[in-house]
Amino acid sequence: MSETVILAIETSCDETSAAVVVNGRKILSNIISSQIDIHKKFGGVVPEIASRKHVELVLPVINQALEEATVKLEQVDAIGVTYGPGLVGALLVGLSAAKGIAFAAGKPLVGVHHIEGHIAANYLENETLEPPFVCLVASGGHSHVVHVSDYNIFEIMGQTRDDAAGEAFDKIARALGLGYPGGPLIDIEAVKGNSKAVDFPRVHFNDGSLDFSFSGLKTAVLNYLNGMSQKGLEINLPDVCASFQQAVVDVLVSNTLKAARQKGVARVALAGGVAANSQLRSAMKMAAEKAGMEMYYPKPILCTDNAAMIGAAAYYEFKRGNVSGLDLNAKPGLRLGDKNCG
């Protein structure tokens, strides 16, 4: 089989990343320069600072990715790049770099949807995984249950009606004084706690919708914290974290399995930053086993934003002939499943 080498670039939020990926499955390099330490002191990502940092880092990171892969630009078959959704200023930096390289080196440009990239992270570690499957994509900006019927065909079966799952983690962590980003910090505390200590709500819609809603849960946690403080009582931090986390995980797992049953697929996958959550991974594994389904998830570093996942998705777009023009623009609100070339 001939090899297709993709140089991929991802700058949609606060990681500047470049990777070299072969045939959508094999990572030769995956350089991730995180800005988390810079944004931490503001309690979240500051878009203008993110763009400026991307400008500083994007070319060194791309060079490092090529060097580490020992691949020369001439050996690259296509340049894959995230063009949405994300922060517009941040997206534009990666996109401009990708267009410049594609033009100068005479290589095709492949625009990739960020969420499609998160889903494709699963191909990097699970050689046997092929569509169809149902994927839960849970990140700081998105909570989607997606039916992946083919490499390029996505149907959103459920999505959040308010906060994304990662956003809920981040907001609750802030209220608990844990810092940013909240997901990993709550995950660590929760391991020491009792997930049944506080009964927080799980929202399911009566109309059979597989949508999520986390704002009620967020309010319930905030009310609980206020109530305790008004009574002059200390909270048990690990118990609150474990109980909150369990409430999020329960709805994520149950809607994903319902979606898989509806589509008659026997494979479920996890993607996005929240997919790094230890309780989500173990609960989904148990539920999938019970339902006789196979379960897939990328290792934590491939769950959060990285360019290797963009390289995997770009490969399947490229193979299908989905090459973008050099007039490709950043689309901060791009929806999954929208045509992404041209």
Interacting residues toward Zn ion by CB under 5 A? 139, 305
**C-alpha dihedral sign at 66, 47, 334, 258:** positive
Of positions 89, 181, 298, 311, contacts ligand KG4 by CB under 6 A: 181
Indicate whether 276 belongs to the interface with ligand KG4 (CB under 6 A).
yes
187 touches, from Zn ion, ligand KG4, none (C-beta below 5 to 8 Å by class): ligand KG4
Whole-number minimum distance, CB 68 to ligand KG4, in Å? 21
Nearer to ligand KG4, 186 or 257 (CB): 186
Whole-number minimum distance, CB 20 to Zn ion, in Å? 20
Nearer to ligand KG4, 65 or 271 (CB): 271
Whole-number minimum distance, CB 73 to ligand KG4, in Å? 28
Give the x/- contact pattern for ligand KG4 in 104-143, rule: CB under 6 A. Answer: -----------------------------------xxx--
Question: HSE on the CB side for 144, CA within 13 Å?
Answer: 22
Give the x/- contact pattern for ligand KG4 in 294-323, rule: CB under 6 A. Answer: ----------xx------------------
85 touches, from ligand KG4, Zn ion, none (C-beta below 5 to 8 Å by class): none
Indicate whether 250 belongs to the interface with ligand KG4 (CB under 6 A).
no
Indicate whether 187 belongs to the interface with ligand KG4 (CB under 6 A).
yes
211 touches, from ligand KG4, Zn ion, none (C-beta below 5 to 8 Å by class): none
274 touches, from ligand KG4, Zn ion, none (C-beta below 5 to 8 Å by class): ligand KG4
